[in-house]
Chains A and B, each alone.
Chain A
Amino acid sequence: MTQTLDFPQGLITSIHGPAFALEGDDIDTDRIIPARFLKCVSFEALGAQAFADDRQELEGRHPFDLPAHQEAKILVVNDNFGCGSSREHAPQALMRWGIRALVGVSFAEIFYGNCLALGIPCAKAAKDEVRALQMAVGKDPAAAWTLNLETLNCSNGEESWPVYLDPGPLEMFRSGRWDATGQLLARDAELRSTMNRLPYINGF
Chain B
Amino acid sequence: MSSGTLYDKVWDLHCVADLPGGSTQLFIGLHLIHEVTSPQAFTALEDKGLTVRCPERTVATVDHIVPTTNQSRPFTDPLAEEMLSTLERNCNQYGILLNAIGSGRQGIVHVIAPELGLTQPGMTVACGDSHTSTHGAFGAIAFGIGTSQVRDVLASQSLAMNKLKVRRIWVENRLSPGVFAKDLILHVIRSLGVKAGVGHAYEFAGPAIEALSMEERMTLCNMAIEGGARCGYVNPDQTTFDYLEGRPCVPHGEAWQRAIRWWQSLSSDWDACFDDELRFDAAVIAPTVTWGITPGQGIGVDEQVPTPEQLDPADRPIAEEAYRYMDLAPGQAIAGVPVDVCFIGSCTNGRLSDLKAAADVARGRQVASGIKAFVVPGSEQVARAAEAEGLDQVFRDAGFEWREPGCSMCLAMNPDRLEGRQISASSSNRNFKGRQGSASGRTLLMSPAMVAAAAVTGHVSDVRLLDC
Contact = CB atoms under 8 A, between A and B. Distances in A.
A35 B437 contact: yes
Interface string A156-181: 00000000000111011001010011
A172 B23 CA distance: 10
Nearest to A31: B433
Nearest to B257: A204
A86 B14 contact: no
A124 to B, nearest CB: 12
A25 B228 CA distance: 14
Contacts of A167: 22
B146 A86 contact: yes
Interface string A168-204: 1101100101001101110110110011011111011
B21 interface: yes
B318 interface: yes
Contact of B40 (A43, A168, A204): A43
Contacts of B77: 39
B146 A87 contact: yes
A181 B152 contact: yes
A26 B194 contact: yes
- Count chain A CB atoms within 10 A of each CB in B25, B256, B432 and give the residue with the most: B432
A198 B317 CA distance: 49
Contacts of B411: 30, 35, 85
B17 A114 contact: no
Contacts of B434: 30-31, 34, 53
Interface in A21-74: 24-26, 28, 30-31, 34-36, 38-43, 53, 56-57
A39 B259 contact: no
A171 B435 contact: no
Interface stretch (B156-164, B268-276, B357-365): B156-164
**Looking at A43, A87, A106, which has the most chain B CB atoms within 10 Å of its CB?**
A87
Interface stretch (B108-116, B121-129, B202-210, B454-462): B121-129
Interface in B144-193: 144-149, 151-152, 155-160, 162
Contacts of B262: 199-200, 204
Contact of A204 (B37, B83, B152, B255): B255
Interface in A97-113: 106, 108-110, 113
A142 interface: no
A149 interface: no
Contacts of A169: 21
A84 B295 CA distance: 10
Contacts of B17: 187, 190
Contact of A185 (B145, B156, B435): B156
A168 B65 contact: no
B421 to A, nearest CB: 13
- Contact-residue bracket for chain B: 35 or more
A34 B130 contact: no
Contacts of A197: 13
A200 B148 CA distance: 26
Contacts of A204: 251, 255-256, 258-259, 262
Given A41-B83, A114-B146, A168-B22, A83 B152 contact: no
A86 B130 contact: yes
A109 B432 contact: no
Size category, A interface: 35 or more
A34 B155 CA distance: 29
Contacts of B294: 26, 28
Interface in A78-100: 79-80, 83-89, 91-92
Contacts of A195: 27
B20 A86 contact: no
Given A88-B147, A183-B20, A191-B158, A80 B194 contact: yes
B152 A184 contact: yes
B258 A85 contact: no
Nearest to A40: B79
Contacts of B64: 38
B319 to A, nearest CB: 11
Given A26-B194, A53-B434, A86-B144, A194 B151 contact: no
A91 B22 CA distance: 23
Contacts of A109: 198-199, 228, 230
Nearest to B54: A195
Given A181-B151, A184-B152, A194 B146 contact: no
Nearest to B156: A184
Given A30-B434, A35-B437, A204-B259, A191 B157 contact: yes
A200 B120 contact: yes
A53 B36 CA distance: 20
Contacts of B468: none
Contact of B149 (A24, A42, A117, A198): A117
B82 A41 contact: yes
B337 interface: no
A36 B198 CA distance: 27
A190 B26 CA distance: 11
B284 interface: no
Contacts of B123: 200
Contacts of B145: 86, 110, 113
A194 B16 contact: yes
A201 B14 CA distance: 12
Contacts of B412: 35-36
5 contacts: A109-B198, A172-B20, A172-B21, A181-B155, A198-B14
Given A25-B318, A198-B14, 12 more contacts: A24-B317, A24-B321, A26-B194, A39-B65, A41-B83, A113-B149, A167-B22, A180-B19, A184-B156, A187-B16, A190-B17, A191-B157
Interface of A: 24-26, 28, 30-31, 34-36, 38-43, 53, 56-57, 79-80, 83-89, 91-92, 106, 108-110, 113-114, 117-118, 167-169, 171-172, 175, 177, 180-181, 183-185, 187-188, 190-191, 194-195, 197-201, 203-204
- For the complex of A and B, list the 5 residue pairs with the smallest distance between their C-beta atoms, beginning with the closest: A117-B148, A114-B146, A88-B146, A168-B22, A88-B147
